[in-house]
Amino acid sequence: MGARPSFDSELETLNIELIRMAGLAEQAIRNSIAALTNRDKAMAVNVAEHDREIDEMEKTIETRCLKLLLRQQPVARDLRQISTALKMITDIERIGDQAADIAEILMNLKNDEPAKIARHIPEMARVASEMVYDSVTAFTNNDLEAAKAVIARDDVVDDLFCKVRSDLVELIGTTPNKIDEAIDVMMIAKYLERIGDHAVNICEWVEFYETGEYKNTKLL
């Protein structure tokens, strides 16, 4: 046992909250895509409503971090851990927003057409949601290699995004009357692609936490 058990236990709670927040964001992505593939508008509504929980968690974690800075005056690894957490939650909150944005598109669908033409979307969502969860567990497990692996996996999401785009360009060329649906799917793909980018951002902060360097620049 270290000499600061109460501080250690606060830091542990911070990690648990981060994992819970990441879990909510990951679930929001999965549910929004399930809403698409299962043509389930109720689930889409549910995703949009649950976004508030993620926003609340952001505030809770923010408050915890600021109190720890105030009361514990952390240095070294503790300082890096708390400042990384503060940066990460902004990205997780944005991820939640984007899952909610996807759900919102689905709530306003006029027909089932997008589900039929969204060939690569479920795979994109699967990879992106795993990236989100893995990025946060890389942080809580102090696992730099896992963070780097998540960053590398963003190429998979980007490739799928390109495939979705080419499919839609082709579709619009052959069936111009499906342009509305194509735009909806394009938006969904773009949101998923952005979610991948947010997971990368989180991992870049994990690199800072482990090495003191952010995007190869020493911050301190």
Partner 1 sequence: MSSISVKNLELYYGDNHALKSVSIEIEENKITALIGPSGCGKSTFLKTLNRMNDLVDGVKITGEVLIDGENLYDKRVDVTLLRKKIGMVFQKPNPFPMSIYDNVAYGPRIHGIKSKRQLDEIVKNSLIGAALYDEVKDRLHKSALSLSGGQQQRLCIARAMAVEPQVILMDEPTSALDPISTMKIEELMLTLKEKYTIVIVTHNMQQAARISDYTAFFLVGEMVEFGETEAIFSLPKDKRTEDYITGRFG
**Using the rule CB under 8 A, which residue among 52, 59, 67, 77 binds partner 1?**
77
Binding marks (x or -) toward partner 1, 13..52, rule CB under 8 A? ----------------------------------------
Q: Is 75 in the site for partner 1 (CB under 8 A)?
A: yes
The DSSP-derived string for the chain is --S-HHHHHHHHHHHHHHHHHHHHHHHHHHHHHHHHHTT-HHHHHHHHHHHHHHHHHHHHHHHHHHHHHHHH---HHHHHHHHHHHHHHHHHHHHHHHHHHHHHHHHT-SSSHHHHH-TTHHHHHHHHHHHHHHHHHHHHTT-HHHHHHHHHHHHHHHHHHHHHHHHHHHHHHH-GGGHHHHHHHHHHHHHHHHHHHHHHHHHHHHHHHHHSEETTEE--
Q: Judged by CB, which is closer to partner 1: 74, or 122?
A: 74
Q: Judged by CB, which is closer to partner 1: 42, or 76?
A: 76
**Using the rule CB under 8 A, which residue among 78, 104, 143, 158 binds partner 1?**
78
Q: Is 80 in the site for partner 1 (CB under 8 A)?
A: yes
Q: Is 116 in the site for partner 1 (CB under 8 A)?
A: no
Q: Is 7 in the site for partner 1 (CB under 8 A)?
A: yes
Residues that bind partner 1 in the complex, under the rule CB under 8 A: 2-4, 7, 73-80, 211-212, 220
